[in-house]
Amino acid sequence: MLRKHSRIGIAGHWSDEDCDLLIALHARRSAPSIEAWSKAHPDRPLVVVLTGTDLYRDIRSDPAAQRSLERATHLVVLQDQGPLELDPAARRKCTVIYQSAPQLAPAEPPRRGLHVVSVGHLRDEKDPFTFMRAVERLRHRSAIRFDQIGGALDAACEQAARRTAAGCPNYRWLGALPRAETRQRIRRAHLLVNTSRMEGGAQVILEAARSGTAVLASRVPGNVGMLGEDHAGWFELGDDAHLAQLIERAADEPAFLATLRAQTIARAALFDPTEEERRLVTLIHSALEDRPP
């Protein structure tokens, strides 16, 4: 997006390359680059993009992440609840820029049954166990099919996925898949389920919205910031019983599924690549214009 407007370099860390502006992804992980840049170029713009682990964990307790907030001239969060996690001084230099994805034409879902997909590597922050427990509650509903996509990042997650697959004939753990294939699977599903404990701005939610697929999600700030407070598909974090009830309701009540889908699609314009580019370029121009002479 920026290459149309400027010369861009992408690196794992800043190594004294001469440039007019630095964009650092992740306040904690990029802290060494942020510190080095601010010392070398205190008069140049420093944009720090905050992830979910930054907003909902690290800036509360990690000194390096906290120093990154102080050193940044501009902050970016990826959904509209993000600024609420910042103190007033940090909030004043914060911009919301939603991530984006190309629009995919909605698929015609299968006429029989309900197809549910969960996408994300199996790790604690994504809370994959809540999805598996909901599947177990619905293992008797053979017309509801469940796919879980994502590599297992620890042995406990892998064992749980294999145990769920062995006990629930309507569940498949598909492991890590290429992004293009994953997007097609989201597009062909009736429901995407996001069970995360923390999210900076879930890519899979916006990909569902850009594909015409309804979303059920844990009511955590990062998800609320993507879908809006009035979304009908919220369940409390870890509440597999309520998640199972929502899935059954979507299977049994076409009007409820249609409402979920309409609400999700209504957010899709926020996640248009042209809108992300517009907000990003506006921020960069503003940051450079604010630079001291």
Which whole number is the average pLDDT over 70-77? Answer: 97
Q: What is the pLDDT of residues 173-213, one digit of tens each?
A: 999 999 999 999 999 999 999 999 999 999 999 999 999 99
pLDDT for 292 beyond 60 = no
Which whole number is the average pLDDT over 140-155? Answer: 96
The long-range contacts involving 158-163, CB below 8 angstroms and separated by at least 24 positions, are: 158/122, 160/122, 160/128, 160/129, 160/132, 161/122, 161/128, 161/132
Q: What is the pLDDT of residues 217-236, one digit of tens each?
A: 999 999 999 999 999 999 99
Bridge-based pairing of strands 74-77 and 94-96 is parallel
Q: Report how far residue 130's alpha carbon sits from residue 257's, in angstroms, rounded to the nearest whole number.
A: 21
Q: Report how far residue 176's alpha carbon sits from residue 62's, in angstroms, rounded to the nearest whole number.
A: 31
Of all residues in the chain, what percent carry a pLDDT higher than 70? 98
Amino acid at 238: G
> What is 151-174 written as a DSSP string?
-BSSHHHHHHHHHHHHH-TTEEEE
Q: Report how far residue 42's alpha carbon sits from residue 44's, in angstroms, rounded to the nearest whole number.
A: 6
Q: What is the pLDDT of residues 158-183, one digit of tens each?
A: 999 999 999 999 999 999 999 999 99
pLDDT for 291 beyond 80 = no
Which pTM value belongs to this model? Answer: 0.92
Categorize the per-residue pLDDT at 107 as very low, low, confident or very high, splitting at 50, 70 and 90: confident
